[in-house]
Amino acid sequence: MGLLELNDVGKSFGSGKASFFAVRHVSLRFPYRGLFAIKGKSGSGKSTLLNLMAKLLNPNEGKIFYRGKDLTSIKGKRLAHFHLYDVATVFQHYNLIEGASALNNVTLPLLLAKVSSFKAKKRAEELFARFHLTALQDKNVDTLSGGEKQRVAIMRSLVNQPAIILADEPTGALDEKNSEQVMTMLQEIAKERLVIFVSHNEELIARYANNVITVAHGQVTPYQAKEEGLSPESCSYTYGKRWTSFFTGRNFKRNAKKNLVAFLAGTIGFASLLVGLGFYQGSATALANEQSHSLEYQAARISERSYIEIENSPLKLVKQTRPEMVTALDATASLDSVSIENDYSYFLPNYNAYTFEDQKADPCSFLPVYDLTLEEGGQELVKTGGVPLSNNLDSVLVNEEFARLYQEEVVGKRIDLASTYSLFYGGVKEEGALAFHFEIVGVVHEFSFLNAPKVYYSYSALAGLMASTRLPGISKALAKEITIDSLLNLLPSDSVITNYDYLLFIHKLKEVPKLDEVITSLLTAGSFIRIDSSTYSVKAAFQDLTNAFSLSLLVFVGIALVGVSLIVALTSYSNFVSRKKETAVLFTLGARSGDLESVYINESVTVALLSALMALGISPLLQRGLNAYIQGRFGLENLIQIPLLSFWGYRLAIPILLILFAMLLAYLSSSIPLASLKRMPLAEELQDE
């Protein structure tokens, strides 16, 4: 039994009709030591033969035995083991690990074999000494001459004491002197193990090789070894040393610029992800908060609807009337304190015809509050001036938009307006006039977005005025005291003078949600009673707006995610492509795919991790800056609330998720191209051009 045996081996390339055998019917048997030359013309199949023996290619036909064991089906861990300990390859173009010292290159296979770095260094140094190359030890291999590089490559192939060294044109790129040095070295090595080299230098072959195998058209001259060598001691190894740190460190230095760009891009991407999330989180609460910042919440209208069937038609008419007072009270029974008041609209002036300091003024809305001293929840809205000491009809509050209309101090200024009315009741025509003289006592701050100039007056004070405004004609006709207020009480529910409704006031800000509930339940129950609140409809519109806003933010966050993924993936991929050959070399040296993964993945994962941490670090600053800007610009407070500390009730959920996400992303985007490498034929990647 020889060390290596080829049994009717054939290897074809291509498929279908284009398929051909590069080598075929090759049977060879090699002993445990000796220097063997393979010669032949270019394209005759020498490299293919060598790659088959190195297990960088798999045969289509025949079998290859190593120490009597069939090599054909080994893969994965066992293949890595075979490359690490049994057969080593030397290439025409050296395939050293660039940017590393000669010593590091020679140490590498030992570290792959998990020899401690201390022992590995010692063993490598012994080799340098043995070949009188100690002077090269600490030089960067990039600075070495071709001959020096090849001798370093040969030491690297030897360091794990493999049984076989295969060298494809090891002197192909060298001058005569260097070729001789390399051949002398191989000759010495061949005294204790099997060395097979490919060459077309007849002279070198004649001088150095013990045996010659000639390849022509994929066929070999039948060859049998004359002497059988002895089995060299197999190498022992220990586990434990990580060898990847050198690569990670070197790659970081080499790719400093690319990694810096990836780091910055990643930071921007992750930060915009966080800001997008902050918008998503903050917008709903910010809008809800702002929206309740309005005095308008106090008033609503309550009315009753009835349907009138139209004969011979599926259509119905809707008729709105003022409900019975008991019905109105009943419908609002679940609210703690409400006031239900007559609607005096019929008697009130056209608000667009008011004067401000005796000047005809721009349009604005006049809206009622129940009590101008502003009950619970309202006073904090007053920014300048104040509320009157007691509720009255001589004072009004205006909002900031109103103040802005006049661009001057409005507190203390006058608003005047007047109305006339005429009506028929009990066969009498009644005509009259009302005049209002208000002094602005305070300015309230309201949510400025979508807001308009408003003047708030006291409705309870107005009710007092209406209860004391006599209607002389009607009083005389009915022979009893009738005021505007008492007339409204007498009127039927479908009189235009009633405005077909009552006004409803809630007294506490915290009743707003309850009122909203009542409105919703009346609507869903299909009740005849209807409550209309402008705040409620504004809120519903806002809800839609907020939802649309959040949705677009989610899209934005999604785009940021895709962007970051692309950046990380592209960086990992380009890192991988730039080192594809080196990866193939590492495979050939016996690195396992797990080892390789850590070399490439470490780098991408570290960059991704750093940018995620950076993004987490700067996001509170971004939040502060953006919020200050938004507040100044739109008056919205804390629109962005990045949930760094807790999310969905979990502490630090977002930072942890972001870090995991970044690392997973980097891991996947660098491990996917690696997986493709595992399927790639190594011989092709390592081919010398």
Minimum distance between the CB of residue 179 and ligand ADP, rounded to whole angstroms? 18
Q: How far is the CB of 200 from ligand ADP (least distance, A)?
A: 9
Contact (CB, 8 A) for 256 and 612? no
Q: How far is the CB of 678 from ligand ADP (least distance, A)?
A: 17
3 state SS of 176? helix
Backbone CA torsion sign across 632, 634, 638, 643: negative
Supply the minimum distance, in Å, between the C-beta of residue 685 and ligand ADP: 10
> Longest Cα pair distance anywhere in the chain, in angstroms?
146
Secondary structure of 477-491 as H, E, C letters: HHCCCCEHHHHHHHC
Q: Which of residues 110-139 bind Mg ion (CB under 5 A)?
A: none
Task: Tell me which DSSP letter residue 471 carries.
Answer: -
If one asks whether residue 105 binds Mg ion (CB under 5 A), the answer comes out as: no
Query: Residue number with the shortest CB distance to Mg ion?
Result: 47
51/298 with CB nearer Mg ion: 51
Handedness of CA 644, 650, 652, 657 (dihedral sign): negative
C-beta of 8 vs 309, nearer to ligand ADP: 8
226 burial via Cβ count (<10 Å: 0-12, 13-18, 19+): exposed
Give yes or no for a contact between 396 and 437, defined as CB atoms under 8 angstroms apart: no
Q: What, of Mg ion, ligand ADP, none, does residue 83 touch, CB below 5 to 8 Å by kind?
A: none
Q: Which does 40 bind (CB under 5 to 8 A by kind): Mg ion, ligand ADP, none?
A: ligand ADP
**Least distance (Å) between residue 283 CB and ligand ADP:** 59
- Beta carbon of residue 56, minimum distance to ligand ADP (angstroms, whole number): 11
Among Mg ion, ligand ADP, none, what does residue 323 contact (CB within 5–8 Å per kind)?
none
Cα–Cα distance measured from residue 683 to residue 157, given in angstroms and rounded to the nearest whole number:
17
Q: Are 5 and 29 in contact (CB under 8 A)?
A: yes
Which of 92, 395 has the CB closer to Mg ion?
92
* Residue 513 contacts which entry, ligand ADP, Mg ion, none (Cβ below 5-8 A, type-dependent): none
Please state whether 113 falls in left (phi above 0), alpha (psi between -120 and 50) or beta: alpha
Q: How far is the CB of 109 from ligand ADP (least distance, A)?
A: 25
368 binds, among Mg ion, ligand ADP, none (CB under 5 to 8 A by kind): none
Q: Of the two residues 204 and 364, which places its CB atom closer to Mg ion in the complex?
A: 204
Applying the rule CB under 5 A, the residues between 21 and 60 that interact with Mg ion are: 47
Of 173 and 411, which CB lies nearer to ligand ADP in the complex structure? 173
Residue 660 DSSP SS3? helix
Q: Which residue, 47 or 283, is less far from Mg ion as judged by CB?
A: 47
- Cβ proximity to Mg ion: between 47 and 641 the closer is 47
Closest approach, Cβ 46 to Mg ion, in A, equals: 5
The option from ligand ADP, Mg ion, none interacting with 558 (CB < 5 to 8 A, set by class) reads none
Binding at 42: pick from ligand ADP, Mg ion, none (beta carbon under 5-8 Å per type): ligand ADP
Residues that bind ligand ADP (CB under 6 A): 13-14, 22, 40, 42-48, 684
Which residues 6+ apart lie within 8 Å of 460 measured at CB? 339, 341, 370, 371, 391
The residue length of the chain stands at 689
Q: Is 677 left (phi over 0), alpha (psi -120 to 50) or beta?
A: alpha
Between 33 and 46, CB nearer to ligand ADP: 46
Closer to Mg ion at the Cβ: 83 or 93?
Answer: 93
* Binding partner at 48 among Mg ion, ligand ADP, none, C-beta below 5 to 8 Å by kind: ligand ADP
Q: Which of ligand ADP, Mg ion, none is residue 43 near (CB under 5 to 8 Å by kind)?
A: ligand ADP
Inter-CA distances, 264 with 231, 517, 611, 666, 669, Å = 56, 50, 7, 15, 18
Contact partner at residue 45 from Mg ion, ligand ADP, none, CB < 5 to 8 Å by partner kind: ligand ADP
The helix (H) or strand (E) run that includes residue 634 is: helix 593-634
CA distance 236 to 217: 41
Question: Total binding residues for Mg ion by CB under 5 A?
Answer: 1
Pairing of strands 299-309, 529-532: antiparallel
d(CA 238, CA 246) in angstroms, rounded, equals 19
Report the distance separating Cα 603 and Cα 367, nearest Å: 65
Least Cβ distance, residue 20 to ligand ADP (angstroms): 8
Least distance (Å) between residue 675 CB and ligand ADP: 21
Between 45 and 276, name the residue whose CB sits nearer to ligand ADP.
45
Closest approach of Mg ion to the CB of residue 41, in Å: 10
Q: Are 627 and 640 in contact (CB under 8 A)?
A: yes
Residue 47 or 267 with smaller CB distance to Mg ion: 47
Residues near Mg ion (CB under 5 A) = 47
